[in-house]
A and B are shown apart, each in its own frame.
Chain A
Amino acid sequence: MPEAKLSLCGVKKSFGKQAILRGIDLDVAEGEMICLIGASGSGKSTLLRCINQLEPVDDGNVWLDELDISAPGLDLGPIRRRIGIVFQSFNLFPHMTAMDNVLLAPRRVLNEEVQGLRLRAEEEFARFGLAQHKDKYPDQLSGGQQQRVAVIRALVMRPEIMLFDEITSALDPELVGEVLDVLRELRAEGMTMLLATHEMGFAREVADRVCFIDGGMIVEQGPPEELFNKPKVARTQEFLRTVLRN
């Protein structure tokens, strides 16, 4: 049984005849930050969705500590609580205020006093510079603010791992920075994180390890300096040449 916090062994996933993941092996240590890079459609998002079992895997296993969470028939609610995810399109609940968005799941799911939860949520709002926005509805917030609320919504569940699925891709360029700052903050706290991203500069700055995914496989992985400066595989070199030129 693997030692890592999270461990993927030979994970495969197809949609119809289209193979998206063709056997992914990946160990994530406690407190590690891993960036997944690769072209759109390479399987980064699907990989993240297979980790928290939003998509059931076709083959292979996903281990969280000593538990095979990809085994059929598990009650996934308690497992998903341990893995937070933030999506590209925010997916806030539009009929609730930011605060209610954040409090809904812990109120229904965690065995905690409402008063304490609210305090904790307010601390998070303050920490990410949203204290004055907590009673606004999502459509009254900018994209960057909405995305930070989405991060808080995941954090109040006290997840052990956080997954980020291209969370800056839908933002106007001037709003990207404020969301990346949130990630830096979490990084400093030692949160275990997997991040699918197109922000190469950011990946280089904060990642412990960068994985280049292409055609549903991890083609190459390593520390950012190594992967960005001296990629060994031809496909990685080609990909980096294309993105870094732009």
Chain B
Amino acid sequence: MVVAGVSTAIVVLSIVLLVPLAPGWEGVKTSFFNGEVFAKTLPKLLKAFLWDVAIFAWSVPLIFALGLAIALARAVRSPALFPLRIFGAAYVDIFRGVPVVLVIYLVGFGVPGLGLPRPWNSPYIWGTVALVLTYSAYIAEVLRGGIESIHASQRAAAICLGLSERDTMRYVILPQAIRRVIPANMNMLVALQKDVALLSFIGPVEILRQAGIFKSLLANFTPYVAAALIFLCVTVPATRYADYLMNRDRNARS
């Protein structure tokens, strides 16, 4: 305890004392840590962040619905529905394999390029679609892992009671699987909240875009630092909560 405290104090102190000695410190301080710019831009950045929150909020239900559908498609057992399994596997491979930014560019610029009428050319819509496509692939994999982690004897017990495959999945397997993957999904949600900022590349004036506008306007990078701090205020508690859930799970199982 004491050792940890002392060593932490030494490290912090040396950073505080040594970094300002760097030759470029004065310049960095005025362009990145400018209190005046920070105070001036923060309210508008917060307002722009509401867009990030809104896009996040309406994407999440879509992501879970599609992710669940894909996971179920990959879990079907009937040979007649084998094509569904192939489709599910291909979907997951493709959207997990392509960087989010690329999907956002391709969907966000590509689809409106078809010359759709307003409001169907909105970058908010197609940006959302891109996020949903990518993240549903991740969520589908997480859910599939959950489904496969439920012991075969549970399915056997349900089937032997005369339940259909469908009811077995719905009432016996899925409720257990979803509970088991809540912590993993929390981590996905944190990642999603950050990746919403990537939509700035295709138009929406959300926080990253707004910070960029301020940067050009004021010739100062402080708005980016402010944006980072705003993100941290949301993502750190969320990550901690996910860790807490994960630890609780681990303790409950051991």
Q: Which residues of A pack against B, CB within 8 Å?
A: 52, 54, 76-78, 80-81, 83-85, 87, 89, 91-95, 104-105, 108-109, 153-154, 157
> Which residue of A92, A95, A104, A108 has the most chain B CB atoms within 10 A of its CB atom?
A108
List chain B residues, Cβ under 8 A from A92.
Answer: 157
B172 near A93: Cβ-Cβ < 8 Å: yes
Is B7 interfacial (CB 8 A cutoff)? no
Name A52's contact: one of B153, B154, B160 (CB within 8 Å): B160
A104 near B162: Cβ-Cβ < 8 Å: no
Residue in B closest to A100 when the chains form the complex, CB atoms: B171
Name A87's contact: one of B156, B163, B172, B176 (CB within 8 Å): B156
> Which residue of B156, B157, B162, B176 has the most chain A CB atoms within 10 A of its CB atom?
B162
Is B167 interfacial (CB 8 A cutoff)? yes
Is B149 interfacial (CB 8 A cutoff)? no
Residue in A closest to B157 when the chains form the complex, CB atoms: A91
Q: Looking at the assembled complex, report how far the CB atom of B249 sits from the nearest CB atom of chain A, in whole angstroms.
A: 14
B162 near A157: Cβ-Cβ < 8 Å: yes
A226 CA / B21 CA spacing, docked (Å): 98
A105 near B153: Cβ-Cβ < 8 Å: no
B171 near A94: Cβ-Cβ < 8 Å: no
Q: Which residues of B pack against A, CB within 8 Å?
A: 153-154, 156-164, 167, 171-172, 175-176, 179
A76 CA / B157 CA spacing, docked (Å): 14
Name B160's contact: one of A54, A78, A108 (CB within 8 Å): A54
Q: Looking at the assembled complex, report how far the CB atom of A95 sits from the nearest CB atom of chain B, in whole angstroms.
A: 5
Residue in A closest to B252 when the chains form the complex, CB atoms: A139
Name B171's contact: one of A52, A77, A104, A154 (CB within 8 Å): A104
**How many A-B pairs with Cβ below 8 Å?**
56
A79 CA / B122 CA spacing, docked (Å): 55
- The secondary structure that dominates the A interface is mixed
B153 near A89: Cβ-Cβ < 8 Å: yes
Query: 23 A-B residue contacts at CB 8 Å?
Result: A54-B160, A77-B162, A78-B162, A80-B161, A80-B162, A84-B160, A91-B153, A91-B157, A92-B157, A93-B154, A93-B157, A93-B171, A93-B172, A93-B176, A94-B176, A104-B161, A104-B172, A105-B162, A108-B164, A109-B162, A109-B163, A153-B161, A154-B161
List chain B residues, Cβ under 8 A from A89.
Answer: 153
Residue in B closest to A163 when the chains form the complex, CB atoms: B160
List chain B residues, Cβ under 8 A from A157.
Answer: 161-162
A81 CA / B162 CA spacing, docked (Å): 5
List chain B residues, Cβ under 8 A from A87.
Answer: 153, 156-157
List chain A residues, Cβ under 8 A from B163.
Answer: 77, 104-105, 108-109
Residue in B closest to A90 when the chains form the complex, CB atoms: B157
A108 near B171: Cβ-Cβ < 8 Å: yes
A104-B161, A157-B162 are contacts. A91–B167 as well, Cβ < 8 Å?
no
Residue in A closest to B156 when the chains form the complex, CB atoms: A54
Given contacts A91-B154, A91-B156, 18 further A-B contacts (CB under 8 A): A76-B159, A80-B162, A83-B160, A85-B160, A87-B156, A89-B153, A92-B157, A93-B171, A93-B172, A95-B179, A104-B161, A104-B163, A104-B171, A105-B158, A105-B162, A105-B163, A109-B162, A153-B161
Residue in B closest to A153 when the chains form the complex, CB atoms: B161
List chain B residues, Cβ under 8 A from A52.
Answer: 160
A109 near B160: Cβ-Cβ < 8 Å: no
A93 CA / B155 CA spacing, docked (Å): 10
List chain B residues, Cβ under 8 A from A77.
Answer: 162-164
Q: Looking at the assembled complex, report how far the CB atom of A17 sits from the nearest CB atom of chain B, in whole angstroms.
A: 22
A91 CA / B160 CA spacing, docked (Å): 11
List chain A residues, Cβ under 8 A from B171.
Answer: 93, 104, 108
Q: Looking at the assembled complex, report how far the CB atom of A140 sits from the nearest CB atom of chain B, in whole angstroms.
A: 14
Residue in B closest to A49 when the chains form the complex, CB atoms: B156
A108 CA / B172 CA spacing, docked (Å): 12
